[in-house]
Amino acid sequence: MRNKITNIGELISCNIVRRLNRFTVLINIEGREEAAWLTNTGRLKEIIYEGNTAVCIKLSSPKKLKFVLVGTKVDENKFTLIDTRLQMKCFEIAQEKKMIDWLQDYKLKKRNIKLGKSLIDYYFTDNSKEFFIEVKSAVLFDGYHAMYPDCPSIRGRRHVEDLIEVKKKGKNAGLVFIAAHPFARAFKPFDAGDPILAQLIRKAYKEGVEIHALKMSLLKNGEIILEDPELEIIL
């Protein structure tokens, strides 16, 4: 299944020089070096390394940085989608277009809603049920699985714990993983990244928190497609 979600326009080819910090990567564009915004704060060591081919887009209203890194090359036509802003935007568009079966009856009511000790990404309702959803980026790829997390995350642990608690109160809760590597065939928690968080994800599933994975790809022409709205989950 392949459905177009959106088109982000012209992609600019570049090569990664090195990561400068959590939010910035040094890239080479046509022989000149530029600092680009990196929205994904994961370690990303498997894709953010010297010489790797990537794509960026030019910011329409730049403040300090002119570019944002959006993906890394997988083959001649496909790229990973590493920009977490785009991942979230595409999740919202896919839901609005009713491309996600298990969310078709719900409407988005609020973003960044306070829940326990956390701010959870989304609050949906179908007028009779409440649905709290946290979205996570799963770019890490082992040749078969998209995986999360790739590093320890205290914040991620709190998110899952608070979703478990809201589920215990009889409300719907869900974890959505954006499987952002075009070749991913299933999703699973990555124990080596954060064993506590990986086990919390499994606990959440046992407690009734819904676990879903959406596979998205970025194409050379700027299209972002939903390749699979319900990727297999392996816990």
Closest CA to 5 of 94, 92, 108: 94
Query: Which of 71-75, 107-111, 124-128 comes out lowest in average pLDDT?
Result: 124-128
DSSP string, 126-152: -SS-EEEEEEEEE-EE-SSEEEE-SS-
Q: Which residue has the tokens 């642990």?
A: 157
What element of type H or E holds 67? Answer: strand 67-72
Strands (E), 73-209: 78-79, 107-115, 118-125, 130-138, 140-141, 145-148, 172-179, 186-189
pLDDT in tens, 78-92: 999 999 999 999 999
Q: In the prediction, which pLDDT does 128 show?
A: 87
CATH 3.10.105.10 fits 84-233, yes or no: no
Q: In the prediction, which pLDDT does 109 show?
A: 96
Is the per-residue pLDDT at 1 higher than 60? Answer: no
**Rounded mean pLDDT, 155-173:** 96
Is the per-residue pLDDT at 49 higher than 90? Answer: yes
**Rounded mean pLDDT, 189-197:** 98
Higher model confidence: residue 2 or residue 104?
Answer: 104
Closest CA to 116 of 130, 132, 127, 103: 132
pTM: 0.95
Distance between CA 23 and CA 35 in Å, rounded? 10
Is the per-residue pLDDT at 189 higher than 60? Answer: yes
**Helix, strand or coil, per DSSP, at residue 111:** strand
Write down the domain spans for the chain: 8-79, 84-233
Q: Which CATH number fits domain 8-79: 2.40.50.580, 3.40.50.300, 2.40.30.10, 3.40.50.170?
A: 2.40.50.580
**pLDDT class of 54 with cuts at 50, 70, 90:** very high
Q: In the prediction, which pLDDT does 91 show?
A: 98
What element of type H or E holds 19? Answer: strand 12-21
Distance between CA 91 and CA 168 in Å, rounded? 26
Q: In the prediction, which pLDDT does 16 show?
A: 98
Q: In the prediction, which pLDDT does 127 show?
A: 82
HEC per residue, 197-213: HHHHHHHHHHCCCEEEE
**pLDDT class of 219 with cuts at 50, 70, 90:** very high
